[in-house]
Chains A and B, each alone.
Chain A
Amino acid sequence: MNRILKRRQLTPEIVLLEVTAPRVARRWKPGNFIIIRPTPESERIPLTIVDGDAGKGSITMVVQAIGKTTMQTAALREGDAIPDLAGPLGEPATVERVGHVLAVGGGVGVAELLPVAGAFRRAGNYVTAICGARNAGLRILQEGLAAATDETLWATDDGSAGFHGNVVELMQAWKPATPPGLIHAIGPIPMMRAVASLTREWGVRTYASLNPVMIDGTGMCGGCRVTVGGKVRFACVEGPEFDAHEVDFDELARRNRAYADKEKEAREAHPCRIGLG
Chain B
Amino acid sequence: MGDIRPKRNPKAPRQQVPVLEAGRRASTPEEVATGFVEDQVKIEALRCLNCKNPVCVDACPLHLDIKAFIDRMANGDIAGAFEKISEQSPFPGVCGRVCQHELFCEKACLLGKKLDPVAIGSLERYCADYARAAGDGHGAARARPTGAKIALVGSGPASMIAAFDLVRKGYRVSVFEALHELGGVLAYGIPPFRLPREILNQEIDRLAGMGVEFHRNFIVGKTATIDELFAEGYEAVFIGTGAGLPYLMGIPGENLIGVYTANEFLTRINLMQAYRKESDTPVRVGRRTYVIGGGNSAMDAARWAKRLGSETTVLFRRGRAELRARLEEVEHAEQEGIRFEFLAAPVAIHGDDKGFVTGLDCIRMELGAPDSSGRPSPVPIAGSEYSVEVDTVVAAIGQGPNPTLQKATPELITNRGKIVIDASGQTSMEGVFAGGDVVRGGSTVILAMKDGRAAADAIDRALKARRADGVSEGREVAQ
Contacts and interface: CB of A to CB of B under 8 A. Distances in A.
B178 A222 contact: no
A87 B248 contact: no
A251 B355 contact: yes
B80 interface: no
Contacts, number: 106
B216 A84 contact: yes
B65 interface: no
Given A27-B224, A84-B216, A86-B217, A254 B354 contact: yes
A218 B402 contact: yes
Interface in A242-264: 251, 254-255, 257-259, 262-263
A257 to B, nearest CB: 8
Contacts of A88: 222-223
Contacts of B261: 221-223
Contacts of B281: 43-44, 215
Contacts of B180: 37, 44, 83-84, 86
A69 B404 contact: no
A160 to B, nearest CB: 35
B310 interface: no
Nearest to A38: B280
Contacts of A257: 257, 354-355
Contact of B284 (A84, A251, A259): A259
B219 interface: yes
A237 B404 contact: yes
Contacts of A44: 180, 272, 281
B217 A220 contact: no
Contacts of A251: 255, 355
B254 interface: yes
B223 A221 contact: no
B264 A24 contact: no
A42 interface: yes
A258 B268 CA distance: 14
A215 B272 contact: yes
Interface in A55-102: 68-69, 83-89
B465 interface: no
A87 B222 contact: yes
B355 A221 contact: no
B255 A258 contact: no
Specify the main secondary structure of chain A where it touches its partner.
mixed
Contacts of A23: 218, 223-224
Given A43-B272, A84-B216, A255-B255, A218 B178 contact: yes
B149 to A, nearest CB: 17
A218 B278 CA distance: 25
A121 interface: no
A53 interface: no
Interface string B175-187: 0001110000000
A85 to B, nearest CB: 6
A143 interface: no
**Chain B interface size, under 10 / 10 to 19 / 20 to 34 / 35 or more:** 35 or more
Interface string A222-244: 11010100001000010000000
A141 interface: no
A43 B274 CA distance: 10
Contact of B402 (A87, A220, A227, A258): A220
A219 interface: yes
A114 to B, nearest CB: 22
Contacts of A259: 282, 284
A223 to B, nearest CB: 5
B272 A219 contact: no
B246 interface: yes
B404 A218 contact: yes
B279 interface: yes
A86 B178 contact: yes
Sort A-B residue pairs by CB-CB distance and give the 3 closest, nearest first.
A254-B355, A221-B264, A220-B244
Interface of A: 23-24, 27, 37, 41-44, 68-69, 83-89, 215-216, 218-223, 225, 227, 232, 237, 251, 254-255, 257-259, 262-263, 266
Given A41-B280, A216-B267, 7 more contacts: A37-B180, A41-B279, A84-B180, A87-B222, A89-B222, A215-B264, A237-B403
Interface of B: 178-180, 188, 216-219, 222-224, 244-246, 248, 254-255, 257-258, 260-261, 263-264, 267-268, 272, 278-282, 284, 354-355, 402-404, 407
27 contacts: A23-B218, A23-B224, A24-B223, A27-B224, A41-B279, A42-B280, A43-B281, A84-B180, A86-B218, A87-B223, A89-B222, A215-B272, A216-B178, A216-B179, A216-B267, A218-B402, A220-B188, A220-B244, A220-B245, A220-B246, A221-B246, A221-B261, A222-B261, A223-B260, A223-B261, A225-B255, A232-B248
